[in-house]
Each structure stands twice: as C-alpha cells, then as structure tokens.
Structure 1
Amino acid sequence: MSSVVQKTAIRGRFLDIQNSVSQATQILGQTRYIEDGLLITEQGKIIWFGDWEAGLSQLTDDMRIDHYPDQLIVPGFIDTHIHFPQTEMVGAYGEQLLEWLNTYTFPTEIQFADKNYADKIAQFFVHELLKNGTTTALVFCTVHPQSVDALFEAAERHQMRLIAGKVMMDRHAPEALTDTAESAYTDSKALIEKWHGKGRNLYAITPRFAPTSTPEQLAKAGQLKAEYPDVYVHTHLSENKNEIAWVKELFPEQQGYLDVYHHYGLTGERSVFAHCVHLEEQEWDCMHATDSAIAFCPTSNLFLGSGLFPLKKAWEKQVKVGLGTDIGAGTAFCHLQTLNEAYKVQQLQGDKLSAMESLYHATLGGAKALHLDDRLGNFNVGKEADFIVLNLKATALQQLRQERAKNIEDALFALFTMGDDRNIQATYIYGQKVYEQV
C-alpha cells in the first residue's frame, strides 16, 4: 500500500453539492461553485476548502500545490452497482436478462475459481475505475471467495474505498458456480471477518438475485445481516418482467419480489437493490419505509431491453438513488456516458435530468445511497479526499461546444452528454493522485 502524503494542496475550479437532499428541486440551492479555489488534504482527509485568496494563509513553503487552472474539479464518481468479473464480456450480443446470464455471464464467471485469473482481472478492473473517475464502487464478485480477496487486494494498493462481496447462489446456475446455504454463510462470514472495516474495505452480503437462492440460503443471508448489522446487502430487484414472473412462481407465499428480501431481513439503510425498473406501489413504499436504496443503471437497462427506470417516482417516494454502470450488461465504466443515457431514459418518459441533478446522483447522492454521505460525496471539511479533475475540452467537438457554454451548468451538461474517459484528467484517492491522463 502506498504511503499517504502528509499534506496536499489543490488549486482550481471546484464544483460540488454541499448537502444531501430529499427532492431534486433542492439541489440547486446546495450547489457550490468556486472559480478559483483551494483544497488542502492531510492523511487522506479534507482539512481546508474555500477560495484561493482566503486559503493563502493555510499554505506552507514546503507544501506541493497541484494547479488545474483550466479544468473542473468535482468529487469522485460513486458507482452503486457493478460486476468486476463481467469486465471482459461487455457488449455481449443479442439476449435479455435470463438468457444473457446463461449464455454469457455464467461461463465467464466460472474462470474466477483461479485466483491468478481473478487477480489479473481485478487489477484491470480497478485501473479502469480510476481511469474513468470512479473512486468508490459497490461491486459484485463471483461465488468464489478468492474473487473477493483478489478485488480487495487490488483496491488496497490505492487505498480505494470499495464495498464488495461473494455471490451467494445455490440453485438455477451451473454446478461449478453454486454453493450451499451453509457454505455461503460460512464463506461470507469468514470474508466479513477478514475484510469488513479493514482499511477502507467494506463488505456486502451478495445473493445474486432471489431466483438463484433457495429460501434456506436467503435465511442464512438474513442471519448474516443480523449478526453483522453494519455490513451491506447488494442484490438485484425487478430488472426484467420475465424475472419478476419467475420470482412470483418460486416464492408464491410472498407479496412480491421485494417482499422476498424483506421477509428474510435483507432490506435496510445499507441495502442496495440494482435496477428496480418495474416496482409496484407497495414496493416503493417498502423501499422508503426501510430506507433501502436503488442503483439506477441506464446503460444496462437499455442494452438488455429491461425498461425505463422512473427516476421521478423515486424522488416522489423519497427513495435513495445512486448511479450504477452495471458492467458488463452496462456498456461503459464512465459515469459521463452513463449520465448521457440516464438523460435519455428520462426524456423517453417525458421528464428531464438536469446537469446538477446528474452530478448529485454521481457523487453525493451515490454516497447517500451507500450510507456514506458522512464520509464521501463533496468537499466538506473532514470528509475523505476522493476527487477527480475533468478536462471539459478533450476533443475538438467538445472544445467548440464549450466555447458556447452560457454558464457552469451548461458546460457541465455538455460534458455529461459528450464525455467519456478522455475527459478524466486526473483521479485522486485519499488525497493522492493515483491516475493521470498521459
């Protein structure tokens, strides 16, 4: 693990959202833009933030200053749903969810029984996150405990905050990818003891989705959550209509898909459910009542033809929402591309997604969805110093468009519409630069 530089000073244009909100209309009042600002970090935390002139007295002669006069500095992007073992199968052709799993996903994940293979993909995966400005992610591994070890070991090299867990799956999958209710419990318990809260690592109890776990295994997952109440739960919910019908066949005694998880004690403030495209009214109410969160995954929902996530409904019901790339059904690691598609998903439903709301979901809203908004998501003093430097003019077309930008919001919207990994100038984790565009 690299050592933490005592103090780092960053000068440039800064933009963040100061506080978590409960309605989209409140975001503009919490937007903070500093044209010439200074951020000082020490031991991975923000110790001073404000205008450059006001901060001059905070500087010492020996302090290194990284100056980005022409870029825009924002909090690091937070990915609330992604699969690291699916990195190599992005863009797999022609199927919807259930067929896609059997045709592409399961054969790919079998390879992660080999720790060396898992190490190779984990290192590539972490580099791609950093290259795309993602500084925190909630990640699916595979059924193999060594896949979890590989990912946390790769993240630890950069002191990166990741949340991850071993998949629990004891039916409706190839034998080479299944565990049992008891082995899933035992393996997950050992991984929690090994990794949760060690450094910046956090653990997530990870049943793939209700159809691939027996009632006995879901009960064991609930037992783990009761024994370790500060760990996360990460799974899928209501992504595809055929999937929902299958869940109702498998669990006829429950009131619906979400009620399966709720029945086994798997909802709550650290529970994140990916997709939620087709929730029923009582499920929205349960999400709100339990303070559970949703990972909105637009590129995946479009690629697999799953449907259009009703973001406006989430605000109405006051349900926490973060943004997920959902690699490899999702088609890009980059939140800029993901937000481009998120805007279109809302347009198709007659709604809009503003630049500042997009920034919120990618940063502080994602932190809130992960119950980490006390530690991440903006530049408030005391928070962990994870942030990125954006080049708004990485291409000739972007440069032409940015010259016509009326204000910072217009410039940001153009970036979210046209941007990709070329716009990530630098990524800082815990106050240290861990990636820079060459």
Structure 2
Amino acid sequence: MQKIFAVKGNIIFTKEFGKYEIFENGYIVVRGKSIIGVYKELTEEYREIRVEDHGDSLIIPGFVDLHLHAPQFGNLGLGLDKELMPWLEAYTFPEEAKFSDVDYARKVYSAFIRELWKNGTTRACVFATIHKNSSKLLMEMFAEAGLSAFVGKVNMNRNSPEFLIETTEDSINDTREILEEYSKKYDLVKPIITPRFVPTCNMELLKALGDLAKEFNVPVQSHLSENQGEISFVKELHPESRNYANVYEEAGLFGQTPTVMAHCVLVDEDEIELMAKNKVFVAHSPNSNCNLSSGIAPIRRLISRGVPVGLASDISGGHSTSMLDVIVNSAQVANLKWIKSHRVEKPFTTAELFYLATKGGGQFFGKVGSFEEGYEFDALVIDDSSLPAFRPLSVEQRLQKFIYTGDGRNIAERYVAGKRVEEPIMY
C-alpha cells in the first residue's frame, strides 16, 4: 500500500499561465508519487498522517530544464564570444569526442548531475553524445541520483569532424539498442530520439529515427532555427523543403510523438503554424541565444499561437545550469524585445516565467510541474531567511526575491515523484 504523507509550508505554484496559487502555512498531501490535494488545513481523514513541517519556508514545484548538453558541462563559460557554428567547431565537438572514454564521461557526468541537484532542477531533457556506452552510463547515473530525465544518444552522420561522426548503420543500430534496453528499465529516466540537428543528419538517418520514435513510442528532441548561418546551411542541404521545420516533418520527427525543439529564435509563420498544429514544444534558451548572438525568440507570439513553451539552460551555449538565471534572463530579453517592438510585444511577469520553468516545461513529462491533484510531487523547499528583507514580504514577493537574488544554497530539500532526493554521490 502506498504511503500517505504531507508537507507543510508556504506553498506557491501556477496552475494557470501567469496566475499564482498560494496557500500560506498550507499542506500538500501526497500518496506514493502523486498529489492528493493542497489544503489550508488538514481534513479529518488526514489528521493522523506524517507531516513534514518546513516552518516558514516556501514550497514550490521543482524546476524543469527542457534542453541541455551534459557533455558540454566542462566547457561552461568558454568560447562564448563566438557565434554558433564556429563555437561548435572550436569548442563543442572536440570536447564531445572525449566521451568515447567512459571513465572521463563518469567524471563529468557525476559533477553535472550534482550541479542540477544543487540548483533544483528535478527534470531535464538532456543531450549526451554519439557514444553508446557513455550515453547508457548517463541514464544509469540519473536513475541512481533519483532525478528524472529524458536522455538522448546523439545522432550525427554528416558535416561533422571525422572524430565525431557515425555511419548511418551504426547510428541507427546503437539508437535501437538503447531503446530496447532502457525504454522500460527505469520509471524516471527514459531514452529520447536525438538527431543533433538537420545539418549533421542526412534524410536517410532522420527518417530512420522517425520510424524508431514511432515504433518505440518515445519522444524526440533537436534544434530548430537557432541562428542565421545554421538556417542558410539547411536551405543549401534541403532546397526542396519549405523551411527548416519541414525537414523534420517529412522525416516523421515533428510532433508524431512528443517533440521538443530548442531555440526557435528565427522561426517563420509557416513553422509556427506547424508547431502549433503538432503541439511541438519550444525550449526557450535565452542565455545561449544571447551568448552565441542568435537573437531573441518570439516567445509571447509562440504562446499566443498555442505553441507549448518551457525554459532551458542549454549548457554550455548557456553559461549556467541554474533555472533561476534562465528565468531572470528570460525576463530581461523579453523587456528588450518589448522596447524594440515599440511596446507591442509585452514583456513577461514573474508569474508567467515561473509557470514556464515549472508546469510549462513539466507538461513534456506528463502531469509534472504543479501541485494539482494527480500531479507527481516534484518540489523544492526554499529557506530564504538568508536573503535580506527589512519589512514583511508576501509569499509572492518572497518568491520573486528568491528568483532574482537567491541560489541553490537556499534550497533546503528536493523531492522527485514523491521521494526526497539527497545529494548525489560524486565519482
């Protein structure tokens, strides 16, 4: 029988886009991994259950990072004065080649997973590398740590350095092997189809990956319309296609199973319509888009058109694994876009961005990112007592202060699917 328990504190979450739900000194009642409900007072039937009382702390949903590259963790902060394609060639590809060495992979991935835990990321969509064994290792390490992730072995069979390229046959076979071994092995860690992006995968490989996604009913992640140079290259490679998104669509990789595309900075109207129709998620990565001179994604317009959106660190194009940093930069670039649009495309409220960092991205994982009934209990307990405050603040104000001035040191506890997650072991 599943155990029932409750956590008590100042509860704040967003059931709807941009609208806080607040329960001061409230209770979240959990059975197993799922939430029964949120209450101002415990009802009679729950009076005898175990209560984890977190006093005056805030209790918020865990953060969801919809796009990041685990093997690039060692490159944080490097090469960010370059644009995308030169940055890949000078920094990213040479680093990823090292992951043919499983011992090196274990060292980096151990530090990477601990960093996610430290910063309160409870769910993530993660790129590994082309290397089968280190990709499997990453899945196993996530499972051991108790965090939830979609982990993708990357596929690359063209326009890549000789030291980081696969044959089409090897790419397909290695991907199939991982799907067969890991699709049902873990509850919280699953494989995801991961063509790096169109420039590095020919149509034969893309279509084979689309077939695998359908056969195993697994999600898809890749990149879309991040940078002008990248888009021009795709046009050269696929002159017969209407646009970048259409290449994925023709391969069966654009919403036939749950799909998330990173960036989408320069998507055209046809691509937006296609994304809305197929409910393709956008992983908004403002840190990376600023660092690599890609631009500012039209997030308000995408949301208004019905495209689901979450936030993403995109390390190491992004320079930080902290979703707090991503929320803040999302607000700042939206402010700039508002000014540039002559105050037409309005900026985001903190509540709207908090939604994107929790329930917005969490929906890619199912019922995740909120404290509604039936949702999986992913939560962070925030002790903000160290943050300077010289007058009483509301729960909403305290959350905003934590987002803008707090960090992982303020996170006292982390829960994933109903279980408290302790600090991962470092290897």
TM-score, length-normalised on structure 1?
0.90
Task: Find the counterpart in structure 2 of residue 9 from structure 1.
Answer: 6
Task: Find the counterpart in structure 1 of residue 65 from structure 2.
Answer: 79
Distance 1:67 1:108, change over 3 A: same
Deviations 1:134-190 (A, max 9, x none): 111000000001122111111111332210110000112122211122211111111
Give % identity.
35
What SS does structure 1 have at the residue aligned with 2:97? helix
Task: Find the counterpart in structure 2 of residue 141 from structure 1.
Answer: 128
Match of 1:215 among 184, 188, 203: 203
The yes-or-no answer on 1:47 pairing with 2:36 is yes
Q: What amino acid sits opposite 1:41 in the alignment?
A: V
CA deviation after TM superposition for structure 1 residue 37, in Å? 1.3
Task: Find the counterpart in structure 2 of residue 91 from structure 1.
Answer: 77
Q: Is the 8 A contact 1:131 1:427 kept in 2?
A: no
CA deviation after TM superposition for structure 1 residue 57, in Å? 4.3
CA deviation after TM superposition for structure 1 residue 264, in Å? 0.7
Match of 1:311 among 299, 311, 325: 299
CA distance in 2 between counterparts of 1:383 and 1:221 reads 31
CA distance in 2 between counterparts of 1:88 and 1:358 reads 28
Q: Is the 8 A contact 1:339 1:358 kept in 2?
A: yes
Distance 1:56 1:148, change over 3 A: farther
Q: Is the 8 A contact 1:82 1:138 kept in 2?
A: yes
Q: How does 1:197-212 map to 2 (within 5 A)?
A: 197-198=184-185, 199-212=187-200
Task: Find the counterpart in structure 2 of residue 357 from structure 1.
Answer: 352
Task: Find the counterpart in structure 2 of residue 409 from structure 1.
Answer: 396
CA deviation after TM superposition for structure 1 residue 289, in Å? 1.0
CA distance in 1 between counterparts of 2:29 and 2:138 reads 30
Residues 290-299 or 425-434, more deviating: 425-434
Gaps of 5+ in 1: none
Distance 1:404 1:354, change over 3 A: farther
Match of 1:348 among 329, 333, 336: 336
Q: Is the 8 A contact 1:180 1:217 kept in 2?
A: no
What SS does structure 2 have at the residue aligned with 1:54? coil
Residues 98-107 or 36-45, more deviating: 36-45
Gaps of 5+ in 2: 339-345
CA distance in 2 between counterparts of 1:217 and 1:296 reads 26
Backbone CA RMSD of aligned residues: 2.0
Deviations 1:300-324 (A, max 9, x none): 1111111011111112211010100
CA deviation after TM superposition for structure 1 residue 414, in Å? 2.8
Residues 240-249 or 194-203, more deviating: 194-203
CA distance in 2 between counterparts of 1:68 and 1:83 reads 34
CA distance in 2 between counterparts of 1:142 and 1:392 reads 38
Deviations 1:87-124 (A, max 9, x none): 11010132110011111111111111112222222222
What SS does structure 1 have at the residue aligned with 2:331? helix
Task: Find the counterpart in structure 2 of residue 235 from structure 1.
Answer: 222
What SS does structure 1 have at the residue aligned with 2:149? strand
CA distance in 2 between counterparts of 1:8 and 1:82 reads 33
CA deviation after TM superposition for structure 1 residue 418, in Å? 2.2
Task: Find the counterpart in structure 2 of residue 158 from structure 1.
Answer: 145
CA deviation after TM superposition for structure 1 residue 436, in Å? 7.0
The yes-or-no answer on 1:384 pairing with 2:376 is yes
Task: Find the counterpart in structure 1 of residue 341 from structure 2.
Answer: none
Q: What amino acid sits opposite 2:34 in the alignment?
A: K
CA distance in 1 between counterparts of 2:93 and 2:43 reads 53
Residues 4-13 or 420-429, more deviating: 4-13
CA distance in 2 between counterparts of 1:8 and 1:114 reads 43
Distance 1:95 1:292, change over 3 A: same
Q: Is the 8 A contact 2:146 2:421 kept in 1?
A: no
Q: How does 1:162-201 map to 2 (within 5 A)?
A: 162-198=149-185, 199-201=187-189
Q: What amino acid sits opposite 1:352 in the alignment?
A: P
CA deviation after TM superposition for structure 1 residue 5, in Å? 9.1
Q: What amino acid sits opposite 1:9 in the alignment?
A: A
The yes-or-no answer on 1:70 pairing with 2:56 is yes
Q: How does 1:119-134 map to 2 (within 5 A)?
A: 119-134=106-121
TM-score, length-normalised on structure 2?
0.92
Deviations 1:327-355 (A, max 9, x none): 11111111111111000010001132111
Distance 1:400 1:48, change over 3 A: closer
Match of 2:262 among 274, 280, 291: 274
Q: What amino acid sits opposite 2:283 in the alignment?
A: A
